[in-house]
Amino acid sequence: MRRLVNIRPGRGGKVFLGAAPLALVAIGYVVASAARQAENPADKLLPPIEAMWSAWIRMSLEVDPVTGSIPLWADTVASLHRLILGLGISTGVTLAFGLVLGLLPVARATLGPLVAAIAVIPPIAVLPVLFIALGLGETAKVALIVIGITPFMVRDLASQVGAIPEEQMVKAQTLGASTWQIALRLALPQAMPKLLKGLRLSLGPAWVFLIAGEAIASDVGLGYRIFLVRRYLAMDVILPYVAWISLLAVLMGLLLSWISRKFFPWDHTRGAE
């Protein structure tokens, strides 16, 4: 009898094994939904697939007479705008601070404790502060994302840059590289794929902070919509929105890995790392 740790599924097996739980969840949902509908046709908790589909069509194709725009797209554009702005700012800050902290012992001694202190503050707890200081507009929501993910990303990148082998640093210096040249030609390119990895890991938290910000004060956005229709127990809208958000998150993750493979092939060759 082979040990369980040595049994690896083949290609087809993997697809089957991966699809089975998803199918089970879907079937379970359909059955449970049908059972509740049979008992009470007005049940809102587990809407049937058809109801979700018609809600989805309504949200994604019909213009809302109040706002004059199609809700799903208006929400998606607004949310992605905030998210990408937040991710972009975080990435820029991370690159600058991560490189400096990772490369320069002096900077590490000066800023390390500050970054560590900021990192332990729960971001949601400062959300009221942001709303008070920055108003209820876009700035506070973007700031929440930035504050939420940047400390982790900075510390992650700094430790990755700090982990560049001493041998490489010495070698670069024996080839005449200055601190600036080491930063630019050694640390920066080696940091980029790590930065993308950190960004990918931060996508989940970034969405959480985005939706939290939108839920509390907003008039458009995916998170705003979910929390708005919650008042009417509109699960037929909420569930497709959740699926849509998940799809967007997955696509962004895939895009980031694609960028990493495309532009930093050396980080993905056999034997790298």
Phi, psi of 64 (to 5 degrees): -80, 120
Q: What part of residues 153-172 is at the interface with another protein (CB under 8 A)?
A: 165-168, 170-172
Examine residue 272 and tell whether it contacts another protein (CB under 8 A): yes
Interface pick for another protein out of 88, 137, 189, 204 (rule CB under 8 A): 189
Instruction: Answer whether 260's CB lies under 8 Å from 267's CB.
Output: yes
Phi, psi of 59 (to 5 degrees): -70, -30
The minimum distance between CB 199 and another protein, in angstroms, equals: 18
Nearest to 222 by CA among 108, 79, 88: 79
**What are the CB-based long-range contacts (under 8 Å, 24+) for 102-109?**
102/157, 102/158, 102/159, 102/160, 102/161, 102/162, 102/164, 102/187, 102/191, 103/161, 103/162, 103/179, 103/182, 103/183, 103/187, 104/179, 108/158, 108/162
- Please choose, out of 46-54, 92-100, 235-243, 261-269, the segment that lies near another protein by the rule CB under 8 A: 261-269
Phi, psi of 145 (to 5 degrees): -60, -50
Q: How far is CA 13 from the centre of its chain?
A: 30
Phi and psi based region of residue 12 (left: phi greater than 0; alpha: psi -120 to 50; beta: remaining): alpha
- Closer to another protein at the Cβ: 6 or 174? 174
Here's the x/- map for another protein, 214-253, by CB under 8 A: it reads as ----------------------------------------
The minimum distance between CB 99 and another protein, in angstroms, equals: 14
- Closer to another protein at the Cβ: 34 or 272? 272
Examine residue 190 and tell whether it contacts another protein (CB under 8 A): yes
Interface pick for another protein out of 185, 243, 247, 261 (rule CB under 8 A): 185
What is the DSSP secondary structure assignment for residue 265, as one 8-state letter?
G
Q: How far is CA 130 from the centre of its chain?
A: 21
Interface pick for another protein out of 106, 120, 125, 175 (rule CB under 8 A): 175
Interface pick for another protein out of 93, 111, 124, 177 (rule CB under 8 A): 177
The minimum distance between CB 191 and another protein, in angstroms, equals: 10
Examine residue 261 and tell whether it contacts another protein (CB under 8 A): no
Examine residue 7 and tell whether it contacts another protein (CB under 8 A): no
Phi, psi of 46 (to 5 degrees): -120, 80
Interface pick for another protein out of 54, 67, 181, 246 (rule CB under 8 A): 181
**Is residue 231 classed as helix, strand or coil in its secondary structure?**
helix
Which class for 162: exposed (0-12), middle (13-18), buried (19 or more C-beta within 10 A)?
Answer: middle
Interface pick for another protein out of 186, 203, 210, 226 (rule CB under 8 A): 186
Examine residue 262 and tell whether it contacts another protein (CB under 8 A): no
Q: How many residues sit in the footprint of another protein (CB under 8 A)?
A: 28
The minimum distance between CB 97 and another protein, in angstroms, equals: 21
Interface pick for another protein out of 54, 159, 178, 246 (rule CB under 8 A): 178
* Interface with another protein (CB under 8 A): 165-168, 170-178, 180-181, 184-186, 189-190, 264-267, 269-272
